[in-house]
Amino acid sequence: MQRAAGWPVAVALITVAATVTVASVDPNEAGHYPTCPSLYFSGFWCPGCGSLRAVHDLAHGDLVGALGMNILTVVAVPYLLWRWATWFARSLGYAIPRRLAPGWVIWTLLAVIVVFTVARNVPLFGPYLAP
């Protein structure tokens, strides 16, 4: 059982190290991180643009700033924490039932990502959704 918990623990340690790095090296300052390839080559914000800045703001307790950088990242963090916690609990031997998301949930998530990507690149909504 303890050996099975190694993977969730390793992922947690890597995630904490990455978060500490992003918290300490400000992505708002030019030259610290590479430019998003989508933005660089096409000039359009991808659905992930602003995620580093959102994580930086979350690590500093600035929820409003994080929402302004990338709302999808802020919404995804609690879900990802919950999924990690269930993975860790299962690796310790707890009987947590596995539930697969219905197909409509996956398609709805995909539609939200596509709509978000288009909306943040349209002049009407861009100033509110772009990082």
Q: Is residue 72 part of a domain?
A: yes
Mean per-residue pLDDT, 46-64 = 95
Report the number of distinct structural domains present in the chain.
1
3-class DSSP state of 15: helix
Q: Is residue 27 part of a domain?
A: yes
Host domain of residue 65: 6-129
DSSP 35-75: PPHHHHHHS---TTTTHHHHHHHHHTT-HHHHHHH-HHHHH
Mean per-residue pLDDT, 16-29 = 94
Mean per-residue pLDDT, 95-102 = 88
* Predicted pLDDT at 56: 97
* Single pTM value for the model: 0.87
Band (36; pLDDT cuts 50, 70, 90): confident
Give yes or no for residue 1 having a pLDDT over 70.
no
Q: Is residue 77 part of a domain?
A: yes
Q: Is residue 1 part of a domain?
A: no
Q: Is residue 42 part of a domain?
A: yes
Q: Is residue 21 part of a domain?
A: yes
